[in-house]
A and B are shown apart, each in its own frame.
Chain A
């Protein structure tokens, strides 16, 4: 049996997790069979205008829904409503009803929320018809929690399927149809891992000032105090006059592409591929490697003018980037 560093067996850990899940599932089962709130009455009786709106909208040309003569000749003997309108008769406009009660449904949701199952998606719906409804019928609906699944994992995340059953009744208390409506209450799957930071530059006493300036949004070019020569990347001694005294100037931020590559492989997770990388001649006469912004590989061309912007890539890293001139 595998023993973890904490001294707890791996299979025990597994059992406890499973036991937790089982207890939670049993708690949820307490809501199954409970009716949610009082019966909901339909605002209008079944009527011809609403039937007309629906059949016109969906292009249903079956004459029994509007044509009295045709309906009379059918086995129904009179006009009937399309069965799939079942849910429509009891619907309440687009303004949601204030429904902040503390009934079984709200209690069930709070329990699900407590485990992080805060997201919801409707998954499917099945209707069963006991009889055709017809103009003049006045319907009402009751809702019952029909079933709650064990914990399931889908592409969306892990959660429980919750199925409610809506029963539709006529004024005599006879059921005309019912509907099973299934949702999943789930804990959203963890977002794909954030990109790791870019490979960090090795900073030394000789170059850290240059990277620090970038962090402040400034692109500097090292300048020899002895002979005034500009140099990049930074180094401690001027190769022209051997002076170790230097200061820096701020780059104007203009240049042109000296060379470029488009990397495809290997893929380093800090970057998006294909990854273009430029070698840029700054107008001051020094050269720097940088990534282009808002450019596709096809846009790249040796000699093309760029403007240079400093952007923050990671909390501790800002770099110059090249924007292709129009």
Chain B
């Protein structure tokens, strides 16, 4: 049985700060700027907002933002765990709140200085130890030097290469596509800075088999997204963007980034759960998707997601992405904003915003005749995904 969340809510507003490497201001200030911009984008007033959802890893409490922006009382507030896996999860909780009447207008947000402040690429190396199950998840990898997201992903990527014959150049084709899309997006950090496959191959090792250009950026910035009922969305400033499906997923024998003990580590069963839920609850298939935003903190996971969502068979993503198939003009342009490799790493929230723009028809790299956009969240962790669509 699939969930009944599809088309019970819509996205009516998006707002963001600029994306940078040093915002020069507090994470809190970034958060209120993005939330305020999203409220303006929607044509709402702060007092219309009665729900807020963010990541458990966000440092900016909802009530603090509400107090700053002039949002009144809240009827729903919740947080989603697992880092970037929470991205579409915030929309899932907002949708549940809106669908059940727990709230009418829910702001989802993520704000951080994760380049100029504590760098996310540091992984767990600088986190305090504690006798908790949460920290003990890293007890079997940290002492060996497997401390960073890149190193955790690399372990899976090597196995994937071994099983399916994917190469570093295949990972590079993802990076080249993302940078190509970022090159024409003025909001992207790597605006006007495309790379070649050769440059990818020559970029330094971070964790072999991952080169520098396989790893997403660390960014400062904030993104907010507002969810409300379809009825209300139709009365607001922007063309409503329907949430055709939304789902969360955690796989069997799931660990946070280190699911190394499954029979087959070169799969993303958590994303398969999300994929099955999205397709079955919406009745859509991969053929109905004109463009997708697949979470690209590390390029190998883009290949594996294409397989989990059924765009190609297992192990065949390396063939699917060849000949510019995931670039503008290809069969399935991915991450038309440049992704987190090219635009910015805002923990997946900026990808949802790009999905909204594609449905609205306002992306700088607009795909023609967009009906449905697939968006996924963090890979290697319990995760989430959604399908956005035009209102009919």
Chain A residues within 8 Å of B, Cβ to Cβ:
198-207, 211, 232-233, 239, 258-266, 268, 270-271, 274-275, 277, 279, 286-291, 297, 302, 313, 317, 319
- A21 smallest CB distance to B (angstroms): 40
- Given A262-B207, A263-B145, A202 and B136 contact (CB-CB distance below 8 Å): yes
- How many Å lie between the Cα of A275 and that of B151 in the bound state? 11
| A187 vs B157: C-alpha distance when bound (angstroms) | 51
Query: Do A260 and B129 form a contact, CB below 8 Å, given A202-B139, A266-B121?
Result: no
* Residue positions of B touching A, CB distance < 8 A: 121-122, 124-125, 129-133, 135-136, 138-148, 151, 154-156, 158-159, 162, 204-209, 253, 260-261, 265
Compute how far the CA of A287 lies from the CA of B264 in the bound complex, rounded to whole angstroms.
12
Asked whether B144 lies within 8 Å of A261 as measured between CB atoms, the reply is no
CB distance from A314 to the nearest CB of B (A): 9
CB atoms of A289 and B144 under 8 A apart: yes
Q: Are A203 and B136 in contact (CB under 8 A)?
A: yes
Name the residue in B129, B141, B209 with the highest tally of chain A Cβ atoms < 10 Å from its Cβ: B141
Minimum C-beta distance from A148 to chain B (A): 49
Q: Would B148 and A290 count as touching, CB distance under 8 A? A: no
* Separation of A199 and B141 alpha carbons in the complex (Å): 10
- Tell me if A302 and B132 are in contact (CB < 8 A): no
Partner among B139, B159, B265 whose Cβ is within 8 Å of the Cβ of A201: B139
**A–B complex contacts, Cβ < 8 Å, 25 sampled:** A198-B145, A199-B142, A201-B140, A201-B142, A202-B129, A203-B131, A204-B132, A204-B136, A258-B265, A259-B155, A259-B156, A261-B151, A261-B155, A261-B207, A261-B209, A262-B207, A263-B145, A263-B146, A263-B154, A265-B206, A266-B122, A279-B260, A289-B140, A289-B141, A297-B208
Kindly identify which residue among A205, A233, A265 contacts B140, using a CB–CB cutoff of 8 Å: A233
Instruction: Give the tally of cross-chain contacts (CB within 8 A).
Output: 124
* Known contacts A201-B139, A313-B143, A317-B143; A232/B261 CB under 8 A: yes
Whole-angstrom CA separation of A288 from B155 in the bound complex: 12
A258 to B160, CA, bound (A): 11
State in angstroms the CA–CA spacing of A118 and B230 once bound together.
Answer: 84
Across-interface contacts of A258 in B (CB, < 8 A): 159, 265
Question: Closest B-chain residue to A260, C-beta based?
Answer: B158
Residues of B within 8 A of A319 (CB): 143-144
Bound-state CA distance A48–B144 (Å) is 69
Q: Least Cβ distance of A272 to chain B in Å?
A: 9
Q: Are A289 and B158 in contact (CB under 8 A)?
A: no
- A263→B158 contact, CB < 8 A: no
When distances are taken between beta carbons in the complex, the residues of chain A under 8 Å from B155 are 259-261, 277, 279
Residues of A contacting B158 in the complex (Cβ-Cβ under 8 angstroms): 259-261, 302
Top 3 nearest A-B pairs by Cβ distance? A201-B139, A202-B135, A262-B208
In the complex, are the beta carbons of A262 and B205 less than 8 A apart? yes
Expressed in whole angstroms, the Cα–Cα distance for A184 and B121 within the complex equals: 47
Q: Would B136 and A277 count as touching, CB distance under 8 A?
A: no
Structural contact, A204 and B133, CB atoms closer than 8 A? yes
List, in ascending order, chain A residues with CB within 8 A of B154's CB: 261, 263
Residues from chain B with Cβ under 8 Å of A262 in the complex: 205, 207-208
User: Which residues of A have CB within 8 Å of B147?
Assistant: 199, 268
Beta-carbon nearest neighbor of B206 in chain A: A265
Question: Is B143 a contact of A198 with CB atoms below 8 Å?
Answer: yes
Given contacts A207-B136, A263-B151, contact A289 B206 (CB under 8 A): no
**Given A266-B121, A302-B158, A199 and B204 contact (CB-CB distance below 8 Å):** no
Residues of A within 8 A of B206 (CB): 263-265
Residue of A nearest to B258 (CB): A289
**Which of A206, A211, A261 has most B Cβ within 10 Å?**
A261
Give A270's nearest chain B residue, CB to CB: B145
B125 & A199 in contact (Cβ 8 Å cutoff): yes
Q: Give chain A residues whose Cβ lies under 8 Å from the Cβ of B208.
A: 261-264, 274, 297
Chain A nearest CB: distance from B230 CB in Å? 41
CB distance from A292 to the nearest CB of B (A): 10
Cα separation A262 to B157 with both chains bound (whole Å): 12
Query: Are A206 and B136 touching (Cβ within 8 A)?
Result: yes
Instruction: Looking at the assembled complex, report how far the CB atom of B238 sits from the nearest CB atom of chain A, in whole angstroms.
Output: 42
Min CB–CB distance A85 → chain B (angstroms): 58
Contacts of B151 in A (CB 8 A): 261, 263, 277
Are A275 and B143 also in contact (CB < 8 A) when A203-B131, A258-B159, A297-B208 are? no
